[in-house]
Structure 1
Amino acid sequence: MTMRKQNRIRRLTLTGLFLALGLVLPFLTGQIPLVGSMLLPMHLPVFLSALLCGFEYGAPMAFVLPLLRSTLFGMPPMYPTALAMSFELCTYALVSGYFYLHSRWQCTKTLYRSLLLAMLAGRLVWGLAQYILLGLNGKAFTMSAFLSAAFLRAIPGILIQLILIPAIMVALRRAKLTPLYAFGHSAGEGETAAERGE
């Protein structure tokens, strides 16, 4: 088996694991919509999938995740929540995975930039999707509702992501399990001295 095929199988396997994790994590919030909108449990596996496997794998998984979860468990509700979330999570994976994996230096600073850019882009896409979906049903989606749901209420979840994701990525990099090592990049490329333990 060629290295390219092994890498593809590894990425597909990891993507499947992150999909399963995305289905299970919301149970930790009791499937309570208000708690879920604050802690954002499905976002973590989406970001990690895109950063570790690439946006080519993370984005399709991210789009399917809320739709599959709504079909299997009834949460989030399919319309408009799961539909809007599909576009939101897909944007997170596309933006974070692309900018991180195609950056010259895959360091922690680049990771934070990729995460913040993805979080902003994903929320804008979510707001647009909500506006269109609710508009089709004759309902309004105001700017205050967008700011409250996308930013104010989500602050705890955003902070959790900004703490956990870099910590996980640094730990995996030190264990030589990040894309720098697992998927054919040269060892040490893009690392900072701190991440090498120097």
Structure 2
Amino acid sequence: MKNQNSKRLAYAALFLALCLVLPMLTGQIPQIGSMLLPMHIPVLLCGLVCGWQYGAAVGFVAPLLRSVLFGMPPMYPVAIAMAFELLTYGLVIGLVYRRMAQRGAAGVYAALLTAMAAGRLVWGVAEVVLLGLGGKAFTAQAFLAGALLNAVPGIIVQLVLIPAVMAALQKAGAVKEYAE
């Protein structure tokens, strides 16, 4: 049991490191680099591989730590809202996947789509609260633009990459023990 927890912690640290580094790589891609949602991918994988507790923790810490270390994303309101969004991604994908009878591609997609919807809703609520505290409004248009329209490239990448990585990890036997 201790060995399994050590492995989960090591994987969670790897996913946190990826959250810090991937935005630097995708940021180099003109026009769509920021739309690829590079911090979301490691958090979603962390929830699947390590479980909801680790996914939620990495999701909450990653944008705040990245903001402190690199100044991006800006702490208020972006990093704070992202912290709640990514916490939700890691939490929901881990919980849903753990309860799935089918752990193949169908289970990954069901957990992924549920987490993506829940995370975007939480992000919207966080933006309403944070901007409301600052005396600004968060409109339905801003929600649609931020949650859907500007995120289409990242959503596509997540829908293709997450199940493919999980299939490869399952085929290699790397995640079997962590799915429990």
- What is the TM-score when the length of structure 2 is the normalising length? 0.95
Aligned residues: 179
Alignment correspondent of 1:164: 161
User: Do structure 1's residue 84 and structure 2's residue 81 form an aligned pair?
Assistant: yes
Q: Following the alignment from structure 1 to structure 2, what is the Cα–Cα distance between the partners of residues 183 and 120?
A: 24
- 2:27 corresponds in structure 1 to 30
Deviations 1:149-176 (A, max 9, x none): 1001101000001101101111111111
Q: CA deviation at 1:36?
A: 5.0
Q: Indicate if the aligned counterparts of 1:65 and 1:86 stay in contact, CA closer than 8 A.
A: yes
Contact 2:47 2:56 in 1 (8 A): yes
1:151 pairs with one of 148, 152, 162: 148
Gaps of 5+ in 1: 186-198
Q: CA deviation at 1:30?
A: 2.8
In 2, Cα distance between the equivalents of 1:56 and 1:97?
8
Q: What secondary structure is seen at the aligned counterpart in 1 of 2:103? A: coil
Residue aligning to 1:120: 117
Distance 2:38 2:17 in 1: 12
- 1:193 is matched with none
- When normalised by structure 1's length, the TM-score is 0.86
- Per the TM alignment, residue 58 of structure 1 is displaced from its structure 2 partner at its CA by 1.2
Percent identical: 58
Choose the corresponding residue for 1:133, options 130, 133, 156. 130
CA contact (8 A) 1:37 1:153 kept: no
8 A Cα contact 1:23 1:42, kept in partner: yes
The answer to whether the 8 Å contact 1:60/1:90 transfers is yes
> Counterparts of 1:146 and 1:163 in 2: how far apart (Å)?
24
| Structure 1 residue 35 displacement after superposition | 4.1
